[in-house]
Amino acid sequence: MIDLFAGQGRYADGEARVSGSPLVYLEQIARVGSKLKTNGICIHLFLVEKKPKNYDLLKNNVAEFMETHPEVKEIVDVKLMQGDCNSPDVWSEISSLPLARKTPLFMLIDPTGFQIHRQTMDRLVAVGAAKDILFNYMVSGVKRAQGIASKPEEQLTQRELTTLTTYVRFLGKDVRLDEDAESPQEYASAVFGSRGYYVVAYDMDYPGRVGTLYYLLFVTKNKKIADMARVMFGAAKKQNYDGQLRLGDTEQFTAEITFIAPDGAA
């Protein structure tokens, strides 16, 4: 498993402590630990966090979990790294992971805005392993960048110019810098579909108002798994934020989930 924006590991929600993605992984591994051990399965977990303060908290939270769950140490190898996921150092670590063509690999890529470069995404997609990817495509950030791009260049501030440079680095040269980028269709087709992947896109609304905050993209080469993800997303779409069921059946909402087939697929 690779998590390129691992964060702190745990977060405060009022008086409660909520597990972030790294602790969710470890909790699930602990839950099925005996089965993994019986079958001789070892899991490698590579956690990357750029911000030093977040990294220190992540390191402490992971260490605390491992101390209270010593049995997990026998079945999981956790490697933490403080750095930018786009840097050569991080890529060198990923390249050195014990991956083979049939090795199951899960990647979580949950950046804020445009923090991951297109070049990095292309490299990750090309990694030789049987991988599934969960990627957060931030529509809200794209809309802001499109608004900046529509202004005359001479009116742009230095901060806005920097945002546009970052935006172009995020999309890549083959994705147009227009309103179509608000949909993940072109980006997903260029990055994933061109390499034989199916993409299932869940549009997450803003809490309490109309509009899409981000698309959660599930990426896989396995058509059956993609179909299962689409049904799961459809079932989630049937529920609103109060946990009440919306009118209509699950099939109706499943049909509304964006499904992007790889190039050349029927």
| Residues 92 and 143 reside in one and the same domain | no
Would 126 be classed as within a structural domain? no
Is residue 25 situated within a structural domain?
yes
State the Rg of the chain over Cα. Answer: 20
* Structural domain contains residue 40: yes
**Same structural domain for residues 142 and 266?**
yes
Please give the residue range of the domain that contains residue 62. Answer: 1-98
Domain boundary, last residue among 33, 66, 98: 98
CA distance 139 to 215: 7
Same domain, yes or no: 58 and 172? no
In this structure, the answer to whether residues 84 and 158 fall within a common structural domain is no
**C-alpha closest to that of 170 among 184, 153, 151, 156:** 184
- Record the tokens describing residue 155, joined without a space: 């009116």
Q: Answer yes or no: do 245 and 172 share one domain.
A: yes
Q: Do 16 and 88 fall into the same domain?
A: yes
**Domain boundary, last residue among 40, 67, 98:** 98
Q: Is 226 within 8 Å of 209 (Cβ atoms)?
A: no
Global pTM value = 0.89
Q: Is residue 93 part of a domain?
A: yes
For residue 105, tell me if it sits in a domain. no
What is the rounded distance in angstroms from the CA atom of residue 224 to the CA atom of residue 232?
Answer: 12
The verdict on residue 248 lying in a domain is yes
Neighbours of 48 (CB within 10 A): 23
Pair (145, 265) in one structural domain? yes
User: What tokens were used for 165?
Assistant: 């440079």
Sheet holding 2-3, edge to edge: 76-82, 43-49, 2-3, 104-109, 130-137, 212-220, 198-205, 258-260
- Number of folded domains that form the chain: 2
Domain end marker among 72, 98, 124: 98
Q: Tell me: do 213 and 151 sit in the same domain.
A: yes
pLDDT at 245: 57
Cβ contact 167:145 at 8 Å:
yes
Helices in the chain by DSSP H: which ranges?
21-31, 33-38, 52-68, 88-95, 118-125, 139-149, 158-171, 185-191, 223-237, 250-256
Residues 66 and 151 in one domain: no
pLDDT averaged over the chain? 89
Residues 144 and 242 in one domain: yes
- Domain membership of residue 110 (yes or no) is no
Q: What's the pLDDT score for residue 246? A: 64
Nearest to 220 by CA among 135, 122, 120, 150: 135
The answer to whether residues 166 and 260 belong to one domain is yes
| Residues 60, 144 within the same domain | no
Is residue 116 situated within a structural domain? Answer: no
pLDDT tens-place values along the chain, 266 residues long? 999 999 999 887 777 788 999 999 999 999 998 898 889 889 999 999 999 999 999 999 999 999 999 989 889 999 999 999 999 999 999 988 888 778 899 999 999 889 999 999 999 999 988 999 999 999 888 888 888 988 898 899 999 999 999 999 999 988 887 777 778 999 999 999 999 999 999 988 877 777 788 899 999 999 999 999 999 998 887 765 455 556 666 788 888 898 999 987 75
List the one residue out of 107, 85, 113 whose CA is nearest residue 197.
107
Structure tokens belonging to residue 12: 């405060």
